[in-house]
Amino acid sequence: MKKVAVILSGAGYLDGSEIHEATLTLLALDRHNAQVHCFAPDIAQEQVLNHATGEPSTETRSVLVESARIARGAIKPLSLAAVDDFDALIIPGGYGAARNLCNFASRGHEMTINPEVEIFARSLHREGKPVGLICIAPVMAPAIGGPGTRCTIGNDPATANAINAMGGIHVSCAVTDCVIDTDRKIVSTPAYMLADRITQAEAGINKLVDAVLAMA
C-alpha cells in the first residue's frame, strides 16, 4: 500500500485549497487503496476572502484549521510530517497554494515557498519520490524539481512565463490531461486553471494520481 502525503492550503478556491480538486485527489487515491495523510502549515492565511462576494474580509483564519474541514479533522501540522514515512506527495491547487504555501500571488516569479513546504517537498523529491502538483501549485515545480523541470498550469501566458522565468519549462496541456516529467518525477495537471466542469478536472486529476502512484 502506497503512502501519500497531501498538503492542503485552507478551504475555498479564493484563499485556500480548491475543494473540488482536494476531494477529487483524495477520492482517486482511495480508489487506488493508497494510505493518505493530510497536512497543512500551522500558519495564518495570507488573506481571507468572502466566497459569496469575492471581497476581502478583515477576519483572520488558520490554514491548518480551515484545511481540517476538507480532511474531516484527520490532519496534522506539516512540521510533523516525516519524509521517510511517505512514498509520494500531492498538492492540490486553489489560490491558497499561491497565497499560503508560497507567495506567487503577490510576488510572481520572485516568489518564495513557505519553509516547511519547501523543506518537506524538496527532501521527499531528493529521495526520488514523485510529486504531483495541481492547478496553480505547479508554480512551485522549478523550486522542487530544479531548473528544467517540465510542468503545466494549462495555457495561461502570464503564469507560464513566470514558470519559465523561474527556470522551469512550461508545457501547454489540455484540462483532461497531465504533464509527466519522468526524469524528475514531477506530475502536473491544469484542473481549475482551465476546467469549466468538475468532470474535466476529475479526468486530469485521475491521470495525475495514476502517474504519481506508478512512480512511487
What residues are labeled active site?
135
The SS3 assignment for 167 reads coil
Q: How far is CA 124 from CA 18, 42, 71, 96, in A?
A: 23, 20, 22, 22
> What does the buried/exposed string (b/e) look like for 122-142 if buried means 16 or more CB atoms within 10 Å of the residue's CB?
bebbeeebbbbbbbbbbbbbb
Q: What does the block give as the cell for 94?
A: 486553489
Q: Provide the 10 A C-beta neighbour count for residue 32.
A: 16
Which H or E run contains 186?
strand 186-189
Q: How far is CA 126 from CA 18, 121, 168, 170, 176, in A?
A: 27, 9, 17, 21, 29
